[in-house]
Amino acid sequence: MTEAVQFTPTPSGPDLVDLVRRYRMTWRTQPELAMHDGQLMPIGFTVQIIARYAHPAHPPLPDCPECAPVRRALRLVADAVVPKGEHVAWYNVQVLEAVQYDGARDPALSATITVLHKGRENRPPDDLEIACVTEIRENLQELGVVESD
Ligand SMILES: [Zn+2]
């Protein structure tokens, strides 16, 4: 139960690499915090995958035809990098509509993978959570997703 499940490249691997390149995907990780005894405490991690892409001069909208394929690509990449099989951590994969857009810069869409303890207990990350995040990171690097600040 505690052994790491190895990532096996899927037949869609090369396509994912292509999507990563096309949408200039980067990733970053942050601690996930929760209130415990009146204090904010780390309980897990979030891994955010960010995609950037050229966009017409109108603001990105949830149903925008230019943004839809980017959202799909993020979902594919996020689903592919999450460790497969029976795991000791709990995952949630969410593609956020939140677009950073100031009109000058290319917009960014992001997918957020949340890694918490199975059972969702609020306790500090342990080796198993860290191993899961490490595996996600390795899978991202394998697909060519670049680490960002
Ligand atoms: Zn759009």
Q: What is the pLDDT of residues 20-66, one digit of tens each?
A: 999 999 999 999 999 888 889 999 999 999 998 887 777 767 678 88
Instruction: Using the mean position of ligand 1's atoms as its centre, give its distance from the Cα of residue 101 in Å.
Output: 10
Domain range for 19 is 13-147
Total domains present in the chain = 1
Is 114 a domain residue?
A: yes
**8 phi/psi in degrees, rounded to 5:** -110, 120
Instruction: Using the mean position of ligand 1's atoms as its centre, give its distance from the Cα of residue 111 in Å.
Output: 16
Q: What is the 3-state secondary structure (H, E, C) of 24-64?
A: CCEEEEEEEEEEECCEEEEEEEEEEEEEECCCCCCCCCCCC
Instruction: For residue 96, give the H/E element and its range.
Output: strand 89-100
Instruction: Using the mean position of ligand 1's atoms as its centre, give its distance from the Cα of residue 74 in Å.
Output: 14
Alpha-carbon Rg for the chain in angstroms: 16
Predicted local confidence at residue 118, as pLDDT: 82
Is 7 a domain residue?
A: no
Predicted local confidence at residue 102, as pLDDT: 57
Tell me the pTM: 0.82
Ion ligand 1: residue ranges with CB closer than 5 A: 60, 64, 66-67
Instruction: Using the mean position of ligand 1's atoms as its centre, give its distance from the Cα of residue 62 in Å.
Output: 7
Is 23 a domain residue?
A: yes
